[in-house]
């Protein structure tokens, strides 16, 4: 081996077996956590494991799973998309309006296309203007909220086509539905893409060590644009399907999704510092949170207390993560100075 040739900095390839071991231990811990939640709630509420409740958990998972995937894809790339909640609202409103005028398929496609457009816009601003994704997505958040109010005309949009809601929500094998199957399918697809496609590997490289990725000649800008586009598109899909399920949408539909999505992604082991995380983790994180919330509300816990508990869960996860990963420093390097800080120099900007 030539010692002058640098070893690959792609974290997925350097110590694959060691990494795989660590990841599977982490996945094991996550599975144990979900099992614990199921055991505790099943023991204390007999309805918890009933097909009806499992169906309801999976329906909530259908929404949260997509949002977690949206946030997860940007987090792996070392960015963050604050506008996912607003994107859900806009897409929900557009989907119903267009469905009403044309057909449900066209409506859903219109919602998804809007998402892709917004994502490309976000991505171009982040990648080519070297802006922090936080700043850009705060701007699009406000903009999208306004657009949602404008299209919905300040009120609730309703759509009385019950065929659509039964198409997405009718139980399949008692506990599944078309909506939850779509989410599961997309998470599987995302997992395969992250693991086996070159673009997926680029995502880890760009998020894990952007300076090294750039120095190796990887398409850093394109990868960032793609991840922001994937994020907004997934959020838009979630919004469209939610609107079909509720047969209604309002400018505030996406309200608390950012908190839940971020909690689920962190629970699933997606690191804010970028470069770490899997689709399995996202799925497990989303499932943990939906199971927890479902169990709590079965116990008769008020929605205010559930919001408080969700916040505490997120806080505990982030506090535990902070010590392991040194997130603030990593985040400062990767998020606030996306590229320009190391253009022209190639030293490791990984922080500590």
Partner 1 sequence: MSALTSTPTAETPPGRLTAVRSFFTDSIRANPQGTTVRAAAVVVLLLGIIAIPGFATLNNFKGLLASVSLIGIAAAGMAIITISGNFFMLSMGATTAVSTIVFATTLSLGLLPAIIITVAVGTVVGLLQGLVIGGWGANPIIVTIAAASIILGAGELWSGGLTIFGDGDPSSLNAVLFDILPVQVLVFFAVVILIHFVIQKSPFGRQIRLIGSNRDTAEFAGLPVKRTVIIGYVIAAACAAMAGVLLGAEFDFDVISAVLVGGVVVTGGKGTVLDAAVGAVFIGMVGNLLIVGGQSFALQTVIKGVIVIVAVSAAALLARRKGKR
Residues forming the site for partner 1 (CB under 8 A): 80, 125, 129-132, 134-136, 138-150, 153-154, 256, 258-259, 262-263, 266, 272, 302, 304-312, 314-315, 318-319, 321-323, 326-329, 331-332, 336-337, 340
Residue with Cβ nearer partner 1 (70 or 168): 70
Please, what is the minimum distance in Å from the beta carbon of residue 333 to partner 1? 10
Q: Among 245, 257, 311, which Cα is nearest to 87's?
A: 257
Cβ 308 to partner 1, closest distance in Å? 3
CB of 23 to partner 1, least distance (A): 21
Residue whose entry in the numeric block shows the structure tokens 């994502």: 119
Residue closer to partner 1, measured from CB, 198 or 343 = 343
What is the phi/psi pair of residue 158, to 5°? -120, 160
Distance of CA 309 to the CA centre of its chain: 20
Buried b (16+ CB within 10 A) or exposed e, 240-249: bbbbbbbbbb
Give ∠ CA 300-310-90 in degrees, rounded to 5.
Answer: 100
Residue whose CB is less far from partner 1, 18 or 323: 323
Q: Is 192 or 328 the residue whose CB approaches partner 1 more closely?
A: 328
Distance between CA 70 and CA 81 in Å, rounded?
A: 8
Minimum CB–partner distance for residue 140 and partner 1 (Å): 7
CA of residue 313 relative to chain centroid, distance: 17
Cβ-based nearer residue to partner 1, 134 or 175: 134
Min CB(6)–partner 1 separation in Å: 24
H or E element at residue 24: helix 16-44
Q: How far apart are CA 3 and CA 302, in angstroms?
A: 62
């Amino acid at each position: 081996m030539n010692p002058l040739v640098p070893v690959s900095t792609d974290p997925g390839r350097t110590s694959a077996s060691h990494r795989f071991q660590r990841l599977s231990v982490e996945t094991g811990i996550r599975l144990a956590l979900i099992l614990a939640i199921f055991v505790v709630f099943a023991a204390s509420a007999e309805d918890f494991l009933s097909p009806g409740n499992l169906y309801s958990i999976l329906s909530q998972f259908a929404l949260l799973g997509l949002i977690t995937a949206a946030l997860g894809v940007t987090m792996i790339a070392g960015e963050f998309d604050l506008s996912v909640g607003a994107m859900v609202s806009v897409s929900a409103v557009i989907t119903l309006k267009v469905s009403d005028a044309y057909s449900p398929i066209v409506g859903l496609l219109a919602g998804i296309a809007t998402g892709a457009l917004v994502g490309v816009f976000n991505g171009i601003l982040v990648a080519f203007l070297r802006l922090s994704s936080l700043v850009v997505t705060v701007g699009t958040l406000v903009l999208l909220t306004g657009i949602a109010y404008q299209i919905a005309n300040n009120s609730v949009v309703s759509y009385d086509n019950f065929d659509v809601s039964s198409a997405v929500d009718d139980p399949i094998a008692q506990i599944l539905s078309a909506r939850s199957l779509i989410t599961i399918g997309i998470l599987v697809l995302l997992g395969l893409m992250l693991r086996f496609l070159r673009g997926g590997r680029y995502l880890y490289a760009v998020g894990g060590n952007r300076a090294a990725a750039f120095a190796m000649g990887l398409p850093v800008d394109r990868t960032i644009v793609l991840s922001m586009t994937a994020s907004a598109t997934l959020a838009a899909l979630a919004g469209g399907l939610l609107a079909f399920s509720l047969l209604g949408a309002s400018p505030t539909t996406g309200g608390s999704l950012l908190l839940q999505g971020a909690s689920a992604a962190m629970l699933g082991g997606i690191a804010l510092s970028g470069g770490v995380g899997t689709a399995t983790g996202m799925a497990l994180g989303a499932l943990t949170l939906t199971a927890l919330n479902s169990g709590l509300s079965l116990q008769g816990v008020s929605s205010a207390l559930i919001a408080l508990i969700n916040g505490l869960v997120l806080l505990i996860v982030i506090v535990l993560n902070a010590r392991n990963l040194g997130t603030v420093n990593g985040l400062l390097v990767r998020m606030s100075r996306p590229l320009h800080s190391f253009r022209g120099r190639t030293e490791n900007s990984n922080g500590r």
